[in-house]
Structure 1
Amino acid sequence: MQLLSSADFASQANTSYELWLGDGAMNLTLVDIRPLPAAAHAGSMRQPFSLIFRSSVRHVLPQRTYQLKNAASGVQEVFLVPVGRDAAGVLYEAIFN
């Protein structure tokens, strides 16, 4: 398994990802890449970071691991947590530490 870093996603900001739901897919947009404090993760193999995705679908998906597919990065398994809503849709966060 490849150890991903925030640099792996830097060129993908504001791009679309397909989230596989078994019987179909929905689109998410990567809207933010945030570094996290490294002090809380001493000894970590990478600088911790989070990704924020937005879905225009108003239904909130439960937190769990989903397959995300992007043309540039391929298919990845990512644990997503719903973290809020804004005027454009539902926000999900993935944390990598």
Structure 2
Amino acid sequence: MELLTLEHFSGCVNEPFATRLDDVSLEFVLVEARPLGNGATHPVRQPFSLLFRNTAAVVFPQKIYPMHHPRVGEVGIFLVPIAYEKAGFLYQAVFN
């Protein structure tokens, strides 16, 4: 499998990623994709962060979710709930 980079996700902001949890279909919308760090180059990949929003009334546990997007394909993303806003819960994934 190809190493995921920020470029894989930067064109997918405001688009849904589909997953399943206990046989229930869920949708997480990518609301932010940004680089991390001081801009120094890294030998493997530049660290980056993704923020997803889910509008369910409950918070989902931190875990690896098998996410699907038409352009990115099927990838396992470790999501951590980090905040609640009026529009739903925010989840972060950090790639370093």
On whether the aligned pair clears a TM of 0.5, the verdict is yes
Number of residue pairs the alignment of both structures matches: 96
1:49 aligned partner: 48
What's the TM-score once normalised by structure 2's chain length?
Answer: 0.90
SS of the residue corresponding to residue 9 of structure 1 reads: helix
SS of the residue corresponding to residue 81 of structure 2 reads: strand
Q: CA RMSD in A?
A: 1.8
% same residue: 38
Runs of 4+ that moved beyond 3 A: none
The runs of 5 or more residues in structure 1 that have no matched partner are: none
The runs of 5 or more residues in structure 2 that have no matched partner are: none
> Following superposition of structure 1 onto structure 2, how do residues 1-97 of structure 1 map, counting pairs within 5 Å?
1-37=1-37, 44-97=43-96
Counterpart CA distance in 1 for 2:29 and 2:36 is: 20
- Conserved 8 A contact 1:38-1:47: no
Rate the CA distance shift 1:71–1:61 in 2: closer, same or farther, 3 A: same
What's the TM-score once normalised by structure 1's chain length?
Answer: 0.90
